[in-house]
Structure 1
Amino acid sequence: MSSTSASTAVDSGESDTGKHNGAAILRRVLVRNRGPLAIGTVLVCVHQLAETAVPISIGVIIDRAIETSDTTALVVSICALGMLFLVLTAAWRLGARFIVKAMEEESHRLRLEVAHRILDPRGVRTDLRAGELLTVSTSDAEHTSWIADIVPRAVAASTAAVASAIALLWIDIPLGLAVLIGTPVILGLLQRAAPLITSRAKGQQESIARASATATDLVSGLRPLRGIGAEESASERYRKVSRDALASTIDTARATSIYTGLSTTISALLAVAIAGLAGYFALQGRITVGELITVVGLAQFFIEPLGLLASLPGYFAVARASSDRLALVLDAEPIVKAGSVTDLDGTDLTLDGIEFRTLAGVDLHCAAGELLGIVAYQPQDGEALAAVLSGQLASDEYRGSVSVGGVSLSDMDLALSRRTVLVEPHISDLFGGTLASNLRAGGAPSADVTKALSASAAADVVDAHPDGLELEVTDRGASLSGGQRQRVALARALLTRTPVMVLHDPTTAVDAVTEASIAEGIARLRHGHPSNGQSTTILITSSPALLAATDRVIVLDRGVVASVGTHNELAATDENYRGAVLR
């Protein structure tokens, strides 16, 4: 079952049909980027080892070249120190390039995966609104990709910590033990705060997503809000969710800043304690002046990897919270289950005992090639019927069956149902781009575009502008009037040439003359030529112009079929029909 406003699925570049959770998504990020991440991690570890070697080298130069006044050794040592700086600079630049490239590509890949799932033609069973889905596919995808940067940094910082501890052990065992014992103790204590940061980060992202969803709803419904004078109420609603998001963000930032400040302070105190202990040992003659310089340099350098190790749990908490939100989308069950039938013998449409919302057991049959009108005295009946025919409902959401050519929709292959039945909703959106890009999304030839524009009375929209079909259209078609947008959307639907087409109130924004032209155009394009075959069309409408063009009219009243006949017959004999249609 298809809709002209549906987007095609996006190829994520990797088949992945398994279940997800936050941890599994993070593992998958690391596994599928293992090549560049391994190279990048080795290089940044080399950088950290070279950084560790700098104070060691300076200490050696002092002891073996400066104290001995050996000029040759001094020159050689300085050249070696220069080579060391060259190695650490090159290793960092190359390693960071591999890691950042993997992280950015993974962020892009995750965005595609989420978009692929959101745009799945089977639908997505989720409670997240459009704005929240947008946040998941953008900021949450980016935050999840941070794991590709967190792990190499953690490995590199650990490498620097271990190398520093070994160097200090070589100089003096108590100094080395202070690092080996102090580091895991500090990290273990700080790690106890990670769940709190994860919880607050997740709450922050959820509140931001709600604010984005509210903003999306307000922008999309701005014109109706202005029409009913509800701008202030809508603005107050957005201010409330925005304030909640701000409060959540400040709360998370406060917790993170306290955590970062505490971790930095503790790391610095450990480094100062090591340097102080080394000074005491130097005064006692246990270590040389060069070794003292090495210890002080290592203590100062050690603050960076230890501080990084202490801060990484905060970044991991954000990545884990975002990956959990990604899992909500990637794990969402499809609304529609695809069947196995791939071919049909006919295009007649049958509804048997349909119960959904206000529909209370609707039975109707539309013969192949028939132009059928359906009048719903209560608008909610028409909306419910369009929803059932759209094929976007799960089988457990309604009772009864819908079949085309004797085959139930639930038994059809997804591709078959999408190319067989199209339901054009009452409110249709246009995509940002041009008129041509909207109309030719399915690759329709120019001759068909001309016919569809004529049938939908949309040719004047093209002719009225010098750019013609290249006229720029803003998002949701906001640059066009309501009537123009409705006619262009109708033309787009007619271009699909689906065997069964359902149009729900396609002319509510046009005048009576244009409506009569559209009625004649639909009948001509869909049923006026033998080449159309057995095209079946259903018009859910109360427009007398459209109903006059139909072969037969079915009337729904209080959820059931109340009467059947031609438009003229019902207009002459049914007072309720006259009151609803011939206003």
Structure 2
Amino acid sequence: MSPAPDVTTPRRLFGLALVADGRGGALAAATALLVVHALAEAAVPVMIGATVDRAVLPGDPAALAVWLGALVGVFLVLTVSYQSASRLMVSVYGYGEQSLRHLALSRILRPRLSAHRLTPGETLTYVTSDTYRVAGVAWSVAQQCATLASIVGASLVMLAVSPVATAVVLVSTLLTLVVMRVVSRPIERRGYAEQRAATEAGAVAADFMSGFRVLVGIGARDEAVRRYVAASGASRVAATAAGRSLAGYEAVSATIAAGTTTVLAGAAAWLAADGQISVGELVTVLGLAQLVGGDLAYAGSFPASWVHKIASARRLARLVDAEDLVDAAGLAVTATRRSDLQGVAGVDSPDVDSRGIDVRGIDGFAAVDDSPDDDVVLTFRTGVGTGPGTGATSTSTTVHLRRGEMLGVRPPDSGSARELSRVLGLRSPVARGDVTVRVDGTQVDALDLDPLDYRRRVVSFPHRHTIPSGTLREAVSGHEAGALPELDLVDAAALHDTVLEAGGWDAQVGEGGRRLSGGQRQRIGVARALHTAADVLVLDEPTSAVDTVTEARVAQALARQGRTLVVVSTSPVLLGACDRVVDLEPSHASAPLTRETSVEHG
């Protein structure tokens, strides 16, 4: 398996959220406006103190009007700067989060798929909670800059009033940053554990909700509840531990801020009583003391917020850097020699070749020319295992699929059926020689094709495929199709009754097709597969949830289609409609099955 092209670090993810796509300028402007807002806040107690000294105490109405007008102007600057900064920050944060979600989803859904397999619930946590935290660094950085500007501005004003007050502010700021950095160290570890536990609980909940009817049907509701309670309990414990750490952290920060405010207020009162500062200056220092106390509390909370964001960024980085499930072209294992495949068990038939596959490199491609005839469009090996690079084994069977043939494959169990479907759909690791497809008259190894190109030629529908929200028409024809589905293909999938029961082609199917029964969703999958223009269709147990009469209709209709099909099934009805059947049961694998013999081997 091949890794992501570049190693992604939390730093790169923060850069993507903050400055990519021209967001750096907006972030700088928003930060500058927040700094202006913070300085305007610091100017308010200064203006009040000046008003007291120069207008209130002298009893000068004109001066009072001037100073009150100046104070109104400060509040106007304060309000406009914050509102403008907020609009810019919402844009930076929103688009940054969108970029992170797009990156995460593009890596999860990339053509070669991700070796880091996730459940829908886990995926939801990554693309919502983690991206939200990482994108939120924009607010943290801008507000922290504004906070530091406020502390510096307040210190300069206090320096003009009292050097002692300035010294108190500077010492308190340094003490806050050092102590909070030490206290914040356990929070990152506990924050990571909290997110991981929340992801697992969300995954359990999402999986149970998607299969709720099945769980109730088999009487497993109590077990499902027990498992969710256990997962939710683990998430609660992790969240409680992280919350306690954060609460203790904030208590330390608040204590330092309160102590600073008390010292400043006491020093200012002593200086005023001693006559060293005026009443207005006392008001200014007390107001700035309140402001600095709040700023120190926020500055102290920054490391805790930062480590939570780093924990989420590291989770996202691991997701983005996960290896490809399917090797990239040119990075696969070296071509398999014919001698390596001699002795592989096969089927003694012109259609199922046991001679192996001779792989010869042609301009970087692995071409296979030993197929029985030019009608072979797909060659694959069964029983090759489930890991990457597994290749042929002593129980492998090399199968050739002809153009226009309906080939049945009887798996020994459901796990083998799912694995064969994944292999033929390149949703599982494959070795060189496991799957080859005819391209422009030449058999080309699947590893030498772009996965999107391969899947345009070979469509392998999962046994449990997902039906997106939308109309019945969109579920069958796709969201971009405006015309009605083709009636002969709808008939082949025995879907007419579903259309009537649902209320027509424009009826909503619900989230994940939940308004439909399992059999209806299966037949929609068959119809959707038949509407594709692929050279080969692979159907994995396409009628396991329908009744026998409907199954017979579908089987007969598929046989009449003339499409090149691989039907993976244990159903005698479906296998009986196939042109040829390959039985993967060890006791049956000595000879291919035909329509006349398939039921006997069932």
Q: Same fold (TM over 0.5)?
A: yes
Aligned match of 1:363: 398
1:56 and 2:56 correspond? no
After superposition, the CA RMSD in angstroms is 2.5
Question: What residue is the counterpart of 1:130 in the other structure?
Answer: 120
Partner of 2:353: none
Deviation at 1:377, TM superposition (A): 4.0
Q: Contact conserved, 1:342 with 1:412, CA < 8 A, in 2?
A: no
Residue number in structure 1 paired with 2:520: 484
Q: Which runs of 5+ in 2 are unaligned?
A: 330-363, 369-373, 387-392
Indicate the SS of the match to 2:37. Answer: helix
What is the TM-score with the length of structure 2 in the denominator?
A: 0.86
Q: How much has 1:424 moved relative to structure 2?
A: 2.0
Output the CA distance in 2 between the equivalents of 1:90 and 1:384.
61
**1:10-409 superposed matches below 5 A:** 18-32=6-20, 33-339=23-329, 348-352=377-381, 355-357=384-386, 360-395=395-430, 400-405=433-438, 406-409=443-446
**1:440 & 1:17 partners in 2: Cα distance?**
35
Could you tell me how far 1:356 is from its partner in structure 2?
1.1
Q: Deviations over 1:184-211 (max 9, x none)?
A: 1122111211221122111111111110
Paired-residue identity, %: 34
1:461-487 Cα distance to aligned partner (Å, 9 max, x none): 11334x311122122322222222211
Give distance in 2, aligned partners of 1:330 and 1:469: 39
In 2, are the aligned partners of 1:41 and 1:152 still within 8 Å (CA)?
yes
CA distance in 2, matches of 1:502, 1:442: 22
Using the TM superposition, give the Cα deviation of residue 237 of structure 1 relative to its aligned residue in structure 2, in angstroms. 0.8
Tell me, in whole angstroms, the C-alpha distance in 2 between the residues paired with 1:104 and 1:56: 36
Residue range with higher mean Cα deviation, 386-395 or 45-54: 386-395
**Paired position in structure 2 for 1:417:** 454
Structure 1 CA distance for aligned equivalents of residues 479 and 536 of structure 2: 17
| 1:533-548 correspondence to structure 2 within 5 Å | 535-548=563-576
1:125-180 C-alpha deviation (Å, 9 max, x unpaired): 11543211110111111111110100011000000000111111111212111111
Question: What displacement does 1:214 show?
Answer: 0.6
Q: Residue 563 and residue 379 in structure 1: after superposition, are their counterparts in 2 closer, same or farther (change >3 A)? A: farther
Question: How many matched pairs?
Answer: 548
Give the secondary structure class of the aligned counterpart of 1:578. Answer: coil
Question: Which stretch of the first structure deviates more once superposed, 81-90 or 71-80?
Answer: 71-80
Say whether residues 1:551 and 2:579 are aligned partners.
yes
Give the Cα–Cα distance (whole angstroms) in 2 for the partners of residues 341 and 442 of structure 1. Answer: 35
Asked if the contact 1:455–1:518 (Cα under 8 Å) also holds between the matched residues in 2, the reply is: yes
Whole-angstrom CA distance in 2 between matches of 1:379 and 1:330: 32
Structure 2 distance, partners of 1:377, 1:478, is: 31
Moved more, 45-54 or 127-136: 127-136
* Aligned residue in 2 for 1:495: 531
Say which SS state the counterpart of residue 534 (structure 2) adopts.
coil
Deviations 1:64-106 (A, max 9, x none): 3334444332221221111111111111111122112321222
**CA 1:64–1:425 in structure 2 vs 1: closer, same or farther (change >3 Å)?**
closer
4+ residue stretches of structure 1 with deviation over 6 A?
A: 340-346
TM-score, normalised by the number of residues in structure 1? 0.88
Distance in 2 between the 1:124 and 1:559 partners? 36
Question: Per chain length, whose mean CA-contact separation is higher, i.e. which structure has more relative contact order (CA < 8 Å, sep 6+)?
Answer: 1
Aligned to 1:6: none
Residues 429-485 of structure 1: CA deviation (Å, up to 9, x unaligned): 3222221111121745746532211111111211334x3111221223222222222
In proportion to residue count, which structure has more helix? 1
Whether contact under 8 Å (1:282, 1:289) holds in the other structure is yes
Counterparts of 1:418 and 1:456, CA distance in 2: 22
